[in-house]
Chain A
C-alpha cells in the first residue's frame, strides 16, 4: 500500500520531462519540421540549468536560462534545415551529436560535473493532498503544476487561435500556406525555437529538479523516447501527456521495486523504458497502417519556386 502511494506520488515527477519534451516536439513538428534533436537540446537545457543553479541558485532563473539556451542552440538547427535545407534527419542527428559533445566538454571545462544543487520545495494542493492513496500525487514541485498549465496554453494556441491554425497549415501543406500569404519559414523558425525552449525546460527539469546534478549524457535516451512518444500520440498533445504519464509511471516503478527488496536483475529493469518504447512503436504500427494524423509535410523542406 505504501509502495503504491509512493509510486503514484513519484510518477508525475518522472513524467514531466517526457511530457514537456513531447510537447516541444509536437509544436515543432506541427509546423512540418522533423525534430530529432530533442536528446541534444535536453542536454543543453540540463547543463545550462545546472550552471545557472550553481552560479545564481534561483531555480526559476535557472529554468528560464535553460529554455533560452536550448532555444539559442536550436537556431543552429534552424539554420541547417530552413536556410541551408539540409536533410532534416541528418540535421537532427548532427544536432544531437553536437550537443552531446558540447555539453560533455563544457560540463568538464567549467567543473559542473557531479556537483549537487538545491532543487525546489514541493507545494501541496490542499485538500487534494489529504486524499487516501492518491494524495501524494498532489504534493509536487511547482513545475509539475506549471506543466499542466503549459499544456493547456499550447493546446489553446494550436487549436483556438488563428496563429495556431496557420502554424498547422504550414506543417500540413506549406504550398497552400504560402499561397495564402503565410510566411512559411518564419513560422517554422518560431516553431523550432519555441519547441526547443520546451525541450530545454524538460532537460533542465531532470538536472535541476530531479537528479539535482549534472552528469555527462544524463538524459540517457529520454529525448528519443519523447520522439517515439509523439508518434505514439499521433501528434496530439493530450495523448502525449497520457503517454508521458505511462513512461513516468514505468520509470517511477524502478526505484520503488528496488526499495521493496525484490531481487530483480537490475540491468533488465533498467532496460524497461527502452523495451517499452520499442513495443509501443510496434503496437502503433500494428494499430494503424496509415498514420493519417501525421502533419502532411513533416520533414519536407519548403522551396517556393520548385517545379514538379
Chain B
C-alpha cells in the first residue's frame, strides 16, 4: 500500500479547470507593507474606474487631474473651501470610527447631526445664556441633543437586540422630517419665504482664526487628538479593542462590555452632533433643510477606509472633503450631478473592501496525483 509508483491509469473523466487545481486558504496575518500595497492597488483600480465614468459623463480626460488636484489644492480659495469642508467631515468620520469600534453600525450619523444642529439653533433662537458663552453653550447643547437621540438605538440594541442598522436609519428619516417641520413651520425665517431659520448672530458663528480659515478645522484636529487618546492611550482603548475583537471574550476577561458600548456609541453620537453644530454655526450660519445630506455615508466610508484609526480617518476625511469641493466644481462647470461624488465614494469602498480578500486569502496550487 505504500506503492506510490502506481501506473497512472485513465485520467479521470472530469478535470474542472479551477475546482481542483487551486485551493483557497485563509491566512492569519500579512505583513503591513504588503497590506498597504494591496490596498493602494485597490484604490488605484477604483480611481481608474471613477475616471472612466467621469470621462463618460462628459469631463474631458485631460481636465481630470486639473479639477481634482490642481484646482483644489493650489487654488487658495478652493483650499480654504476644502479645509472648511473637512472639519465636519473629520467629525463624522471619527464618529463612524467610534461606533464601529464598539461593533455598532451607526447609520444614524445624519439624524444625530440634525439634532446637533437643532439643539444649537434652539439656543440661538431662544436667546439662552450670555453672548460670550453663547458658542460653547450651543456646542454643548448640540452634543447633548445628539447623544440623547443616539441613546434610543443603543439601549434597544443592548436590551432587546433590535438591529441598529434599521433603527438608526429609521431615526434618520424621523429626524429629517422633524427638521422640515421646524424650518417650514415655527422656526421659519419670517423675513423671506425660504425654508430655513433666521440667521445666527455674529457672536453665534464660528470665527476665523486666520483670514478665511475657520476655527472649525482646529476643533476637528483637537477632537482627533482626543479620540486618539481615547482609543490609543487610555484604558478604555484596551477595553474597546476586546469588545471589538470578541464581546464574549471581553466579558469573560472582565471588560465592562455594556458600559463600554454605551459610552462609545454616545461619544459617536456626540461627535456627529458636533459636526451638525459646525455646519450650522460655520458654513451655513442658520438651520437649513438639507445641510446634512451626504455626511452619513461619508462618515461610514471614512471609518471603513481608515480601519477605525483616528489619524487615518482625519487624512481620509481631508481627501473626501477635497472630493466634495471638486464635485461641486464639476457641478458648476460640467453639469455633473452631485450624485457622482457618492458614486465615486461607493466605488472606492467596494474596491477597498474587495482588496481585503487578497489580504485574508491566498491561492495555492494543488497537484493531485503526482508528488
Contact = CB atoms under 8 A, between A and B. Distances in A.
> A and B from one assembly?
yes
Nearest to A113: B337
A85 interface: yes
Contacts of B338: 104
A265 B107 CA distance: 27
B166 interface: yes
B342 A282 contact: no
Nearest to B296: A97
Interface string A66-87: 0000000000100010011111
A285 B177 contact: no
Nearest to A98: B346
Contacts of B178: 267, 271
A100 interface: yes
B163 interface: yes
Interface in A116-139: none
Tell me if B's interface is mostly helix, strand, loop or mixed.
helix
A97 B357 contact: no
B23 A305 contact: yes
A155 interface: no
A97 B346 contact: yes
A94 B160 contact: no
B353 to A, nearest CB: 5
Contacts of B345: 97, 101
Given A101-B345, A271-B178, A281 B163 contact: yes
A282 B170 contact: no
Interface of A is mostly: helix
Contacts of B24: 303, 305
Interface residues of A, number: 48
Contacts of A221: 169-170, 173
B300 interface: yes
B163 A98 contact: no
Interface centre among A101, A104, A274, A306 (most CB of B within 10 A): A101
Contact of B160 (A101, A231, A286): A286
B73 interface: no
Contact of A282 (B23, B160, B336): B160
Nearest to B340: A105
A270 interface: yes
B166 A94 contact: no
Contacts of A98: 343, 346-347, 350
A281 B361 CA distance: 37
A102 B165 contact: no
B171 A80 contact: no
Nearest to A40: B346
A224 interface: yes
B95 interface: no
Interface string B147-163: 00000000010001111
Interface of B: 23-26, 53, 57-58, 105, 107, 156, 160-163, 165-167, 169-171, 173-174, 177-178, 180-181, 184-185, 297, 300-301, 304, 336-347, 349-350, 353-354, 356-357, 360-361
30 contacts: A80-B350, A80-B353, A80-B354, A84-B353, A86-B353, A86-B354, A86-B356, A94-B349, A94-B350, A97-B301, A101-B340, A101-B342, A102-B343, A104-B337, A104-B343, A105-B336, A105-B337, A221-B169, A224-B170, A231-B163, A265-B181, A268-B181, A274-B174, A278-B170, A281-B156, A282-B156, A285-B160, A285-B162, A305-B23, A305-B25
Interface of A: 36, 76, 80, 83-87, 89-91, 93-94, 97-98, 100-105, 107-109, 216, 220-221, 224, 227-228, 231, 265-268, 270-271, 274-275, 277-278, 281-282, 285-286, 303, 305-306
Given A98-B350, A278-B167, 9 more contacts: A85-B357, A93-B107, A94-B346, A101-B341, A103-B339, A274-B173, A274-B174, A278-B170, A286-B160
